[in-house]
Chain A
Amino acid sequence: SQQGEEDPQALSIQEGENATMNCSYKTSINNLQWYRQNSGRGLVHLILIRSNEREKHSGRLRVTLDTSKKSSSLLITASRAADTASYFCATDNGGANNLFFGTGTRLTVIP
């Protein structure tokens, strides 16, 4: 399966702390994306990193990509209670036109 795996499955932190989530995948990719999901419904795109990039920032988000290890991490700095959600990584399949999602990390930020 091309599906990625997020680690940890669940993470609970205090407001203001940083949250780090990891994603591992299995085959070559063109890009890797991170999405956020609130309340089990629609996902929202957060950030896309291409296979030739190693790090990308967007506001309080920092994403890294290590293609040699087939892994990515998402760092949320100075977390807020509103960051509580599930976070998913998604990968293409190098040449395939669909996206495969991981199993997600459930983040809880305690006020």
Chain B
Amino acid sequence: GAGVSQSPSNKVTEKGKDVELRCDPISGHTALYWYRQRLGQGLEFLIYFQGNSAPDKSGLPSDRFSAERTGESVSTLTIQRTQQEDSAVYLCASSPVVSEKLFFGSGTQLSVL
């Protein structure tokens, strides 16, 4: 497709389980971002990838969170040993130019029971 694709769109999991969220950026976009948005709140920066450079992981809230991206392709965000406070919408975005005009996916709604 032409836009940023995220899967799954919804994920319900039990506390303590691991989850993996996927993001397919727009082809040719070198920059890829992950954000978390809790209900009724703003976007919380998690991690940023730019080409083959080392990612900016400064926003990851704990060592249970990790993300990978191979080159300029798909990215996966993994949350280990999920907790109830991890429940949120996880948004992925890509852009052709660093820090300009991000294109967002529709997000993954994660619910930890």
Contacts and interface: CB of A to CB of B under 8 A. Distances in A.
Greatest chain A CB density within 10 A among B48, B99, B105 is at: B99
A3 B93 CA distance: 18
A99 to B, nearest CB: 6
A43 B45 contact: no
Contacts of B102: 33, 35, 43, 45, 90, 99
B43 A101 contact: yes
Given A33-B101, A42-B104, A42-B106, A99 B45 contact: yes
A31 interface: yes
Interface stretch (B33-41, B60-68, B71-79): B33-41
Interface residues of A, number: 24
Contacts of B42: 3, 88, 101-104
Given A43-B91, A97-B31, A92 B104 contact: no
A97 B105 contact: no
Nearest to A93: B99
Interface of A: 3, 30-31, 33, 35, 40-45, 48, 88, 90, 92, 96-104
